[in-house]
């Protein structure tokens, strides 16, 4: 894509970020959101072979729990969809089996969180299993969603119009997200989401800035926010190219 968009970070962390994109249509903003949720492939355990399970949970329950553990997703190009990586777990009670006990056959695919309890094992109970992780999309199963709670809001511009009439009751004016004030981006949490505490006694006008969206993105640990967003945009581009090729005469 040759068009360039103006992207500005408001908060930036490894797993959580807030950024402003200017010059995109509402449809494209939603396209990015949907691609982040459903179209970026991530690794997750899909098939489990139990060798021994004498815990209090059934094999199927444990397989679901193992599947929901986020795994780090290898860089693009290392794996293609439907490739598998084998992980194994062997814990004997009395102990708790954690996601960190999963031993991977590939150092690119490791549990992203080490402290997720899988099952508490009592004296004499044992869990031994082999699991296959697959690269798939959020469309297929929620465990493959790389982005959690991905959303966006319109950027709103705050303008102080006038003083309030002298005897008017002060009314709270709640906004959430990020507002633009004199060209500066201010997260609303700075003033407790209430504009009347920021500008007491003033009449305020709020309006949407056209085609500017503030995204709030969190990942489950499979990759960084940056990676998720770039991969989501790449997937849109790939599909657009595919469509273009398909409809060409």
Partner 1 sequence: MMVPVRCFTCGNVVGEHWEEFDERANQGDEDPQKVLDELGVDRYCCRRMLVSHTDLVDVVSPYQ
Which stretches of the chain bind partner 1, using CB under 8 A?
54, 56-57, 61, 65, 68-70, 99, 113-120, 122, 125, 142, 145, 148-149, 218, 220-221
Least distance to partner 1 from the beta carbon of 122, Å?
A: 5
β-bridge pairing 126-136 and 84-92: antiparallel
Nearer to partner 1 by C-beta: 61 or 197? 61
Contact 41, 57 (CB under 8 A): no
**CA geometry: angle at 165 spanning 163 and 168, to 5°?**
120
Nearer to partner 1 by C-beta: 149 or 174? 149
The token pair at 125 is 């109970």
Least distance to partner 1 from the beta carbon of 133, Å?
A: 15
Residues pairing with 11 in the sheet: 18
Least distance to partner 1 from the beta carbon of 237, Å?
A: 25
Nearer to partner 1 by C-beta: 115 or 182? 115
Least distance to partner 1 from the beta carbon of 137, Å?
A: 14
Nearer to partner 1 by C-beta: 116 or 204? 116
Least distance to partner 1 from the beta carbon of 62, Å?
A: 9
Q: Cα 249 to chain center, whole Å?
A: 39
Kindly state the DSSP code that residue 179 receives in the 8-state scheme: E
Angstrom distances, CA of residue 68 to CA of 61, 124, 130: 11, 26, 15
Q: Where are the alpha helices (DSSP H) in the chain?
A: 26-38, 59-68, 195-198, 225-247
Least distance to partner 1 from the beta carbon of 148, Å?
A: 4
Nearer to partner 1 by C-beta: 38 or 212? 38
CA end-to-end distance (rounded Å), the chain: 22
Nearer to partner 1 by C-beta: 39 or 220? 220
The token pair at 173 is 């004016």
């Amino acid at each position: 894509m040759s068009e360039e968009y103006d992207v500005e970070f408001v908060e930036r962390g490894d797993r959580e970020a807030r950024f402003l994109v200017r010059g995109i249509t509402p449809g494209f903003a939603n396209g990015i959101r949907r691609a982040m949720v459903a179209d970026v492939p991530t690794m997750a355990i899909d098939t489990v072979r139990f060798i021994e399970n004498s815990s209090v949970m059934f094999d199927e329950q444990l397989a679901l729990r193992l599947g929901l553990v986020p795994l780090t997703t290898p860089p693009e190009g290392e794996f293609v969809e439907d490739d598998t990586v084998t992980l194994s777990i062997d814990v004997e009670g009395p102990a708790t089996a954690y996601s960190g006990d999963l031993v991977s056959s590939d150092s690119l695919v490791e549990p992203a969180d080490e402290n997720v309890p899988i099952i508490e094992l009592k004296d004499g109970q044992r869990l031994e299993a082999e699991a296959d992780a697959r690269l798939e999309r959020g469309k297929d199963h929620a465990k493959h969603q790389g982005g959690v709670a991905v959303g966006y809001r319109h950027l709103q511009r705050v303008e102080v119009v006038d003083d309030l009439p002298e005897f008017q009751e002060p009314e709270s004016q709640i906004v959430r997200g990020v507002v633009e004030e004199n060209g500066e981006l201010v997260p609303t949490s700075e003033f407790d989401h209430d504009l009347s505490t920021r500008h007491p006694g003033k009449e305020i006008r709020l309006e949407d800035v056209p085609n500017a969206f503030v995204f709030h993105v969190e990942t489950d640990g499979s990759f960084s926010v940056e990676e998720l967003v770039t991969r989501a945009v790449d997937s849109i581009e790939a599909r657009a190219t595919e469509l273009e090729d398909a409809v060409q005469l």
